[in-house]
Chain A
Amino acid sequence: MPDLLQQLAVAEAAGLTTLAQSEPELVYSFRHALIQEAACRSLTKFQRASLHGTIGEVLEAVYATRSAEFAGVLAVHFAEARQTDKAVVYALQAARRAVSLYAREEAYELLRMALALFEPADVSLNHLAVLEELADVLRLIRGSSRAVALYQQALGIWEKLHGSDPVAAVRLHRKIIEAGSEIRGSVDFSELTSRVAAVEALRTSVLAGLELTESLAPHAEVARLLMALATYAWSVQTPPDWDAALRYAQAATQIAEQLPNPAEFSAALGAFAATQFGKGQLSNYRDVALRRLALCRVQHFQDLPEKLEALRDAGSALMYTGAYQRALDVLAEAEDLARQIHAVDQQFNSLILQSQCWLRLDRWDQCLRIEAEWTNLEKRFGQQRLGLSCFAVALGAIVRAHRGELDLARSQRQASYDAMIAFTGPPEEWFRNQHY
């Protein structure tokens, strides 16, 4: 330590560094970033890696009780030191923390750095974990098609790790199906066919995986896989197979109801509610959605993203059954929660559902207020984060037409139509909603 202090004094006297802070800890800064860069370049690769390793170990020891806080820094030092195991542990820890704080891009960068530490042929649980979590984060930033490829890579590793946890395979299959369903709702028509075909090819193996899990005791992963299959059956399969979706959703609710975490049951009810809509049972749809919401409103329910889904779904169900005022109350709550947890796509969706309610109530002033809000959101976050806005634009066109602002109505109508064509292809490819 005295040796280090002497060296720091020399560097400071030479004008290379400056004492930035003396309490509670000594902090020195380089006078210029170029000085730092030159100092680093003067080291050999080996020296640099060794120094990063030493710094990582010192930080680990000094901040032993605050490792979560320093996990990102530790991950970088151990990655530079090529200490893969430690780097991966801290990168995963830091990425999870970043996701919980909605710093998704930061989580993405940390996991990409961790992934670069592995050879592609590396067969290890760490490699599998990094691939899976990177794919999870990609889905949060609308990169579902890349996520599918990473999950597939992780499954490949799982297959080579003979005797590893079968639940992990169920989970990876489930995530592939979920990501495949997300692709269906997020890509241009021109990209869709090939991507959906890739996901479709996996379906047989997923069903085989499902059969393998039948002997397992009720497990959250089995319930989640069934939910994913239910969604897949109506959102990806063409034409939608509502009977299959209903079977999967019912099976998921039966399993999820036995699980200790109410969020699992809530999500299963969500899948079940969607199948009720598809079967034309709108009263049942509303009842199931409201049951789900009641489950999420109890005091000890802590899964905020799930609560948000429940609010949005209940608002939607109330709207479709004509209870517009109640729908608006629930959707305003959804919008607030979405803002609170930085779920901008859900915030956008809640706004559009509110706009639909206001349109039905002939409150065009409110529709235009909401249009200003969602266009601001789109400017801030981009369509990639928010999702398609063709329907929202069409609502604006309707209001303008009612008000006699025909030029604006025409241009909005055209913009909405063009976006729909880009998304779903020509009218012969349209679903019911596009014709509607």
Chain B
Amino acid sequence: MAEGEFALLPNHLEAALQRSPRLARYGSAASDLDLYVLYAELGAQQGGPDSQAHAVRALEAADRLGHPLYQAIALRALGVAHRRDGAWAEADVCLSKALAQFQAVPAKWQAARTLVECTKLEQDQGHIAQAHMTAQLALREFVALAAAPDAARVVEMLRHL
């Protein structure tokens, strides 16, 4: 999505879910699981009343298939939903599991994004020193990956911690 089109994402996801999946030789096919995971990601980024339900649906589907990356993404989305609801212990469990799973895949950018979510949880809980350390870890990963926009966001986050 280009800037300004992010709001259209739910429309595309709905339209995609209503259509039958097809294998595409030169492109990417999209299974129901792919779409559930996108919904979960969207919920984690935008919030909203259905975000937890989307995360649970994605997690169940990823568990059924044993898809490690998608399990981790769904767990992170569930963790974010719990954090927003103030269920910190549940959020901590989900985010820790997600982080371990991303590291096992390995998916370093995803792991760093999860560290950012851990930072927010620690901040919400008032563990500022810990949040600072976690954010530094995330920043180090983003810099190593040359993920400039994410690194800039963490720098900004650190300024306000």
The residues of A with any CB-CB pair to B shorter than 8 Å are 185, 234-235, 239-240, 242, 274, 277-278, 280, 282-283, 316, 320-322, 324, 348-349, 352, 356, 360-362, 364, 387-392, 401-404, 410, 413-414, 427, 430-433, 435-436
Contact = CB atoms under 8 A, between A and B. Distances in A.
Given A432-B22, A432-B30, A364 B146 contact: yes
B22 A362 contact: no
Contact of B26 (A235, A320, A352, A435): A352
11 contacts: A282-B31, A322-B65, A349-B26, A356-B28, A361-B105, A361-B106, A362-B109, A362-B110, A433-B21, A433-B27, A436-B35
Given A391-B26, A433-B28, A436-B28, 17 more contacts: A240-B22, A242-B20, A274-B23, A278-B23, A362-B107, A362-B108, A389-B26, A401-B149, A402-B147, A404-B152, A432-B22, A432-B29, A432-B30, A433-B21, A433-B24, A436-B16, A436-B30
B25 interface: yes
Contacts of A322: 65-70
A402 B17 CA distance: 26
B31 A277 contact: yes
Contacts of B68: 322
B159 interface: no
B7 interface: no
Given A322-B65, A436-B30, A404 B148 contact: yes
B134 to A, nearest CB: 19
B21 A388 contact: no
B160 interface: no
B69 A235 contact: no
Given A185-B25, A280-B31, A320-B29, A432 B147 contact: no
B132 to A, nearest CB: 24
Given A282-B33, A321-B65, A322-B65, A362 B145 contact: yes
The listed residue with most B CB atoms (<10 A of its CB), out of A283, A348, A388, A435, is A435
A271 to B, nearest CB: 11
Nearest to A389: B26
Contacts of A389: 26
Nearest to A410: B2
B158 to A, nearest CB: 18
B27 A388 contact: yes
Contacts of B28: 356, 391, 433, 436
A7 B65 CA distance: 81
B149 A402 contact: yes
